Structure formats: C-alpha cells, structure tokens
Amino acid sequence: MTKTNVLILLGPPGAGKGTQARMLEQKFGLVQLSTGDLLRAAVAAGTDAGKQAKAVMDAGGLVSDEIVLAILRDRMSEPDTARGVILDGFPRTAGQAAALDTLLEEQGMSLGAAISLEVDDAAMVERVAGRYTCAKCGEGYHDSFKTPTVDGVCDACGSTEFKRRADDNAETVGARLSAYHDQTAPLIAYYDGKGALKRVDAMGEIDRIAADLGAIVTEVAA
C-alpha cells in the first residue's frame, strides 16, 4: 500500500505558504494543516494551550514545541489526513522536525517533499502588513496587490466580512522574520540532507508558483 504523502511548506511569514496550501488543497484534495490556524483556534476557544500561546504569538515568537506538537498530533490523528497532508508552518524548529519524523513513522505516513518557498525578505513586511482574509471562506486579499473586484465583497463567496490577523503588523513581522531565520531556516539543510528538499521561486505570479508546486506534488505522488 502506498504510504500517505506529507508535504511540508517552508518559508518566512508572507512567503505564501497559506495561499499555496489552500490552492493545493483544492487542486489535489490534500488536507491543509496550519499550526498557526490551529493555535489561533485554541486562542479563540480559550483552552489552556491557547492561553499560554497567545502572548508568544502576539510578540512574534515561537510557541513551545510541547504545545505545538500536542496540537499537531491531535489533528494528524483525524481520519481525513489519510488523503495526504500539506503542513503549513510546521515544523519550525529542529525539535519539531525530529518529532515529525517519529510521528510519520508511527502513523505509517511518508514525507513526499519539503518545499522551500524562496523569497526576498525585504518584500515580506509589506506583503504581511497589507494582508487580510474573508471572514467566511478564508480567501486571501491584500491592500495593494489583491483587492476584491467589487469593493468590500469577497470574490469567492460574496461575504462582506473581512478580518486581519492581530500579528500581521510591521512591528511583529520583524520578530517573526528573525524567528524564521534563527530557528526555521536551518531546516532547509536538514531536509536537503535527507534528499527531500525542493526549492521554488516564490516571488512573482501566484499562479506560476502554484504551477511549480503542482508539478512537485504530481512528481512525488507518482
């Protein structure tokens, strides 16, 4: 039996991990699994983990491996992950990468590829500080780069409610970029060493980047 494929998207805040993961989910039926989304849900639900995570997230730091791994393990044990998973924002530390290796082994899943979305850091602050999403369907928008066709109405679902993340501001983005370079960027070499790394130029057209990622998904699924 073919092992369930797991793809990892690596890249700094603003690289387009969430946007691309959503597109891969729609195109290939894979399950997008974002630890940022899971943590925001825990914060909103007021769980113990959410309470502990909130201050760290507001400051742009990394939530402890212990909390993130507990949340991830729970989600990975749900049956829909058998369709294949795109990890968006996980792993972010060497400890998380090692724990993921063990988890995949335990669950009979295999790593298809770790894809590094390569971007210019300088452009990331503007990308992140201007972004917002539809509150109903999650479609992503940006103040400068992608506004709805009809002002204030979501192109995808017609909703008029939008939201911005509390941590998507110029001050916090700097801390998030530092956390990425200090703790997450070393994972690029880790996955390269395993022969699992793919690099994608993630500046420029969203559709071209999606096509490059789609080609990788097709290749590793074959």
Taking the complex as a whole, how short is the minimal distance between the CB of residue 218 and ligand AMP, in angstroms?
A: 25
Is residue 60 near ligand AMP by the rule CB under 6 A? yes
- Residue 211 main-chain phi, psi, to 5 deg: -65, -40
Q: Which residue has the tokens 């009809």?
A: 150
Query: How many CA atoms are closer than 13 Å to the CA of 84, on its beta-carbon side?
Result: 20
Closest residue by Cα to residue 104 from 118, 87, 120, 121:
87
Is residue 75 near ligand AMP by the rule CB under 6 A? no
- Of 17, 40, 127, 198, which one is the catalytic site residue? 17
The residue type at 43? V
DSSP state of 146: B
Catalytic, 176? Answer yes
Q: Which of 21, 57, 129, 209 binds ligand AMP (CB under 6 A)?
A: 57
Query: For residues 88 and 9, is the Cβ–Cβ distance under 8 A?
Result: yes
Is residue 50 near ligand AMP by the rule CB under 6 A? no
Q: Which residue has the tokens 């210019």?
A: 120
Q: Which of 63, 111, 113, 210 binds ligand AMP (CB under 6 A)?
A: 63
Measured between alpha carbons, how far is 85 from 82 in angstroms, rounded to an integer? Answer: 8
Binding map of ligand AMP across residues 145-174, x = CB under 6 A, - = no contact: ----------------------x-------
Partners of residue 114 on adjacent β-strands: 8, 197
Counting residues that bind ligand AMP (by CB under 6 A) gives 18
Catalytic, 131? Answer yes
Burial grade of 26 (CB within 10 A; 0-12, 13-18, 19 or more) = exposed
Is residue 16 near ligand AMP by the rule CB under 6 A? no
Is residue 209 near ligand AMP by the rule CB under 6 A? no
Binding site for ligand AMP (CB under 6 A): 13, 34-36, 39, 56-57, 60-63, 68, 89-90, 92, 96, 167, 176
Residues annotated as part of the active site: 17, 92, 131, 165, 176
